[in-house]
Structure 1
Amino acid sequence: MKFQYEGPAFCCRKGKVKIATPEIPQELHRLFTSQVDADAKYFRKRIRYFNTHFSFTRLGVTLDKTVSNAARTGVYTFVAQGSMYYKMDDLVPGGQGPRNLQLYFYDTDETLEHRVKRSPDLDINIIRKILEILEENPYVQTFKSIGSIPNLEEYRISLNTDIRLDQRRYNAPTASQVAAMWVEGSDPQNTFDRQVVLYGKGDRPIFIRAYYGCYDPLAYPLFFPRGETGWNRWIPYETPSKVALEDNEDDTEREDMHGLDQTSNVHLERNTDEVPDDEEEQDDDETGGSRKFVSAREYYCFKLQVRKGLFNIILFGARGFQQWAFDMYIKMETMRLDFFSKPKNQKLVRADLYQGVVDVMDAGETHGSHVGKRIVLPRTFPGGDRDMQRRFLDAMAIVQRFGKPDYFITTTCNPHWEEITSGLEPGQTPQDRPDLVARVYRAKLRSMKDLLIKKKYFGEVAAYVHVTEFQKRGLPHEHMLLIMSSDSKLTNPDGYDKVISAELPNKDKYPILHALVVKHMLHGPCGALRKNCPCMIDGECRFRYPRQFCDATQQGKDSYPIYRRRPDGHQVKVRGAELDNRWVVPYNPGLLMRYNCHINVEACSSIKAVKYLFKYIYKGHDRASFSVDPAVQNDGEVINEIKQYMDARFMGPQESITRTCGFPMFGVSPSVLQLQLHLEDMQPITFKEGDNLDDVINRPSSYSTMLTEFLKMNLVDPYVRNFLYKEFPEFYRWIKGKKKWQRRKLRGRG
């Protein structure tokens, strides 16, 4: 199943990615799908609880309790802070009794007393059914066989972390392929090429790393009942020589290959509409141009697809699906961050001023590890602080070139769009299918961008920026700033009234529009009508509702106009309160009718709005509040920015799937090139830890920069002298690999 704007490469890279869909036992299929059986409904309502009970690993995660508890609103969302990890317990239970993998040791007891004690709230009959379903699971077979063994503390179990079954065809692993057991002192050498060893009583925790092939079946036995292997680094493309790469296809967003770890086959997504031109060119092997193996993002994007005639159990997982979607993206991001943080997985690239390196050489130092500063979380990592700061500066450069924005548009996803509800399976709700929500929202957003920019809904658009964010309960929303050409700008209150309304429409004359305004565009109630509303801060609405009545639109004193809100007596009852025009969020009737969702359209009437708006949309994604340690510890060790990023991030299933699908979350048009500016011999250079500094300063790339090459061209090309440095990229493009400027082929110029 494909939605609008999803190209032929979205699901499987035009056939390059092929993963067999696992066979699901009939009884498990019934539990996941039946709408009439009481036990199936009970099971799905508590599916995360059941999965945790049968999981072989112990989950460590910090949930946002305000949204992961559906008691107040009825809407459950798996939103977590920081990292997510899985640990394996020792074979011998501790003082808390058996749990996770240890529970399987005692399943020979028909009373299942150990499971009742561990999870007294779960239906024991369903537990019995699931145990019967899992009898063919090789991990269950391994751990269940331990139950009759005395002196368990003397035993060891090796888990194969690199199971290389051909996933292009259905192959369930056997017990001998996933695990091996032996007694201490008779250790079989090299049982598996890569493995983790579980001890009877260990002195340190055993973590299941993100890149282990056993990660998925150990954590989600209900999704992989026969122990089917998850993603690993060696899943080959299907007939790679016959399929063209799709990196440059319009409908497929590129993956950022900077910071590629070839051993783990993990790639960074770019997640943006523009491609920075000032990054170091990497060779074909590093950028993935000749990759032979499926990346983690491609693998899990494939797993999210709906295919006719195939039962995808993950998409029926409801709350378990939310956790899985979050978990798989955190797995990908963890591997990407590992590349930057672990010395064994990254080249220690350091940066310093060219002149600084020369000075150090004059002092007798020639080794790269003794100079420079470590780049901890580079700007090529989407969503990092450097990345967001760069985007903000790019957006301000757009303003400097094209002027202040004219429209500020905020669009929020409607989870009840027909395209979403028609795709739901019986008994499902929109929060059960974050994949549908993310994909439909992306299609709607692309349609709106085409309407506004290509079809010139408000007129000619000279430039724009946009960014996707996610609400507390996970729904995506978009901020878009439009800068119009001179003959399409809003210049007076009459112009505002032609495109923006802040009043309830006449119900008799415009019944559909009236219903949409009441449904999507009324704020609150808050203030005196509802003092506990989330928008209330210190007794005041932070959005300043209710607004004052106003007979005619006026030029505002701050960033927005004062819209017309006439006291015409029209009122509607919303959430138990009577609301009038003072509560209407400004909207455009045409966009509201077309897209049936919350679309706030504001006119930017003052230059004062610019910095606030751009900082607002580029403030970065949700973070937790936490204390920041000093930049340098007493021993001189620099604080780990990657750890700070991981500890502070908040993420839910919608954002996870948006990133897994590679959908762009940022955009700016026209693209912005960051120009280098430096004094003579003070340009930044890059070098590796073991480089000889004499070689570093003498290589051409060390002394050729955008600025030095621009100055050289002024000496030889009279045409170049017509432009300032900041104007130069409009007429010349920077070839980053060759470190030179090339004249653009502009329309209308010979």
Structure 2
Amino acid sequence: MLIHLLSKNRYSIFFRSLRDVKANEKRTIILRTHFELDQRLYNTPTSSQIAGILLEQTSDPPTKGPPIVIYSSSGQSYKIQHYYGCYDPLQYPLLFPYGGKKHKIKNKKKTVSCIEYYCYKLQIRLAKNSILLKSGRLLQQFVVDMYIKIETGKLDFYRKEQKKIRADLYQGVVDSVALGERNASKIGKRIILPAGFIGNPRDLRKRYLDAMSLGQRYGKPDIFLTITCNPAWSEIVSELGINEIVQNRPDLTCRIFRAKLIELKDLIIKKKFFGPVAAFAYVVEFQKRDLSHAHFLIILKESSKITFAESYDEYVAAEIPDAKKHSLLFDLVLKHMMHGPYGEKNPKNVCMSKKGYCKSRYPKSYCEYTIQAEDSYPIYRRRNNQIQVKVRKSMLDNRWVVPYNPYLLCRFDCHLNVEVCSSICSVKYLYKYIYKGHDKIAFNLVDTEKPELFVDEIKQFQTGRWISPPEAMWRIYAFILNEMQPSVTTLQVHLPHKHAITFQESQDLQKILSFDFY
């Protein structure tokens, strides 16, 4: 049936010719998960998912996307670049059984961007079933591949448009001219990516500094909140078709999580759940657990500041609730807010450090009253009331409860961690934490047929950016990744002749200095 279906595909002849071509060398990707790597970024994947690794280079932008190489029976090869129109039907013949067809454009524009096209293709339409959204695990690979294509196209644009632009301090140009150098290509450094490219180190550093300025203006954050997507939300499960699983529908999880995120934001900001808000910042992240999550930092107005340890219990709880009085809350705490078991009960868990203890310092100590701590978080009330519950085949007590807000937990039915920021020492750490950047992985390619006996990890392991299906779908839909209010305007302050200037590498340095840069 498939052969008959693909007989109408104009590209099928290329696939049939592959039977006469020997297979390329088989290679295996080895992931490096050593403890010395920053586990916030280089943590081990904990779910079975299809992900992409985008190579990163320090001196130049990432290389162009890999082409599809097609061989004919005569031995000739053809390269199909990622931006060719036939790339998709060649890479995914079952998703484009007829080789693809032209779409009529109903708006005034004669062309659409790559991201607009895939955003259109990945929409849910009741009147027409989508082959893409019904393709199961193949949808994960498709969305990751297409987002890498989109980002690679942006990087290619910056490479072509800015490869001849250089930057240096004004004083550096003056010094170079004084030494007799007039060739602009000999000084300064190349501009690789501007700060406007979301997610690059310049962008993250700028957002971190802007967020720190909020703390300088409005004081330390009062609430640190983390919300994680729950794949068992009724809004997601009700939209699944026959034999569909949540993991294969990143479009659904992204849409529903975004809706929950907007609801939570409105509850905190507009409805003043914690009190009037002076400033806030949040960042959406995608870890290797196949679940999207967001971090909120909330600064309350002076009249609503949480200043006394006695008032912390009004916002945060860290105990197992009474199963008879609060049955719903009891079930949700057991389902979402129990950390573990780790340590002696599960020494191989991903939360364990090299030295054999939990990186999140669980189990906590018993405490009769909430007290102010010297570090980033207070010591919450965890009474030794002999209540134990069975979670993941182990008996756990109050020492294993992740701090939560009872109302928010019942309303959103997901892992929703709420912490009170009790010390000014936590400010820098918290802001750095939420702006730490993309998830990364250290990897190496090894020949499967001739495995290496010894792998030089220092020389052969490369660093790559880990792109999961939820992140790819989120970015294709162009949903907001971070937000900060009030906005911050950066004012450039510098010493005389120490401001940065940009120039073309073909320019004469003497002419550059003749312009008035002020």
Instruction: Give the TM-score category using the shorter length.
Output: 0.7 to 0.9
Separation (CA, whole Å) in 2 of partners of 1:534 and 1:86: 36
Q: Which residue of 2 aligns with 1:79?
A: 51
Choose the corresponding residue for 1:601, options 412, 418, 428.
418
Q: How many residues align?
A: 469
Residue 222 of structure 1: how far off its partner (Å): 0.3
Does 2:231 match 1:415?
A: yes
**Is the CA contact 1:61–1:85 (under 8 Å) kept in the aligned structure 2?**
no
Which amino acid letter does the alignment assign opposite residue 387 of structure 2? H
Residue 603 of structure 1: how far off its partner (Å): 0.5
Q: Which runs of structure 2 are paired with 1:276-675 in the superposition (5 Å)?
A: 293-341=111-159, 344=160, 346=162, 348-361=164-177, 365-537=181-353, 538-625=355-442, 648-675=464-491
Residues 74 and 312 (structure 1 numbering): CA distance in 2 closer, same or farther, change over 3 Å? farther
**Is the CA contact 2:46–2:289 (under 8 Å) kept in the aligned structure 1?**
no
Q: Which residue of 1 aligns with 2:95?
A: 223
Q: Which residue of 2 aligns with 1:179?
A: none
Residues 309 and 237 (structure 1 numbering): CA distance in 2 closer, same or farther, change over 3 Å? closer
Alignment TM-score, normalising by the size of structure 2: 0.83
Which amino acid letter does the alignment assign opposite residue 369 of structure 2? A
Separation (CA, whole Å) in 1 of partners of 2:257 and 2:29: 25
**Is the CA contact 2:318–2:398 (under 8 Å) kept in the aligned structure 1?**
yes
Residues 691 and 60 (structure 1 numbering): CA distance in 2 closer, same or farther, change over 3 Å? farther
Separation (CA, whole Å) in 2 of partners of 1:518 and 1:651: 31
SS of structure 2 residue aligned to 1:479: strand
Residues 663 and 435 (structure 1 numbering): CA distance in 2 closer, same or farther, change over 3 Å? same
Q: Which residue of 1 aligns with 2:106?
A: 238
Residue 372 of structure 1: how far off its partner (Å): 2.4
Separation (CA, whole Å) in 2 of partners of 1:349 and 1:616: 33
**Is the CA contact 1:86–1:208 (under 8 Å) kept in the aligned structure 2?**
yes
Residue 647 of structure 1: how far off its partner (Å): 5.0
Residues 534 and 421 (structure 1 numbering): CA distance in 2 closer, same or farther, change over 3 Å? same
Residue 362 of structure 1: how far off its partner (Å): 5.0
Residue 66 of structure 1: how far off its partner (Å): 11
Residue 447 of structure 1: how far off its partner (Å): 0.9
CA offset digits 1:176-221 (Å, max 9, x no partner): xxxxxxxxxxxxxxxxxxxxxxx2xx6xxx5422211111000000
**Is the CA contact 2:47–2:290 (under 8 Å) kept in the aligned structure 1?**
no
**Is the CA contact 2:442–2:463 (under 8 Å) kept in the aligned structure 1?**
no
Max Rg structure = 1
Residue 74 of structure 1: how far off its partner (Å): 11
Stretches of structure 1 that go unaligned for 5 or more consecutive residues are 1-23, 29-49, 68-72, 93-151, 154-198, 241-290, 628-643, 704-750
CA offset digits 1:343-388 (Å, max 9, x no partner): x454522112223334444555555334321012332222222222
Residues 298 and 615 (structure 1 numbering): CA distance in 2 closer, same or farther, change over 3 Å? same
SS of structure 2 residue aligned to 1:228: coil
Q: Which runs of structure 2 are paired with 1:51-62 in the superposition (5 Å)?
A: none
Separation (CA, whole Å) in 2 of partners of 1:319 and 1:384: 29
Residue 611 of structure 1: how far off its partner (Å): 1.4
Which amino acid letter does the alignment assign opposite residue 474 of structure 1? D
Residues 551 and 562 (structure 1 numbering): CA distance in 2 closer, same or farther, change over 3 Å? same
**Is the CA contact 1:216–1:229 (under 8 Å) kept in the aligned structure 2?**
no
Which amino acid letter does the alignment assign opposite residue 71 of structure 2? D
Stretches of structure 2 that go unaligned for 5 or more consecutive residues are 6-14, 34-44, 56-64, 445-459
Which amino acid letter does the alignment assign opposite residue 316 of structure 2? I
Separation (CA, whole Å) in 1 of partners of 2:182 and 2:84: 40
Does 2:86 match 1:214?
A: yes
SS of structure 2 residue aligned to 1:316: coil
User: Could you say what the CA RMSD is over the residues aligned between the two structures, in angstroms?
Assistant: 3.2
CA offset digits 1:242-272 (Å, max 9, x no partner): xxxxxxxxxxxxxxxxxxxxxxxxxxxxxxx
Residues 296 and 520 (structure 1 numbering): CA distance in 2 closer, same or farther, change over 3 Å? same
Which amino acid letter does the alignment assign opposite residue 83 of structure 2? Y
Residue 584 of structure 1: how far off its partner (Å): 0.7
Q: Which runs of structure 2 are paired with 1:190-201 in the superposition (5 Å)?
A: 199=76
Identity %: 48
CA offset digits 1:310-334 (Å, max 9, x no partner): 1210101111000001000000111
Separation (CA, whole Å) in 2 of partners of 1:582 and 1:386: 40
Which amino acid letter does the alignment assign opposite residue 88 of structure 2? D
CA offset digits 1:421-443 (Å, max 9, x no partner): 11111111110100100111011
The answer to which structure, 1 or 2, has the higher relative contact order (CA under 8 A, 6+ apart) is 2
**Is the CA contact 1:60–1:86 (under 8 Å) kept in the aligned structure 2?**
no
Separation (CA, whole Å) in 1 of partners of 2:25 and 2:90: 11
Separation (CA, whole Å) in 1 of partners of 2:32 and 2:173: 52
Separation (CA, whole Å) in 1 of partners of 2:203 and 2:24: 34
**Is the CA contact 1:520–1:598 (under 8 Å) kept in the aligned structure 2?**
yes
Moved more, 344-353 or 659-668: 344-353
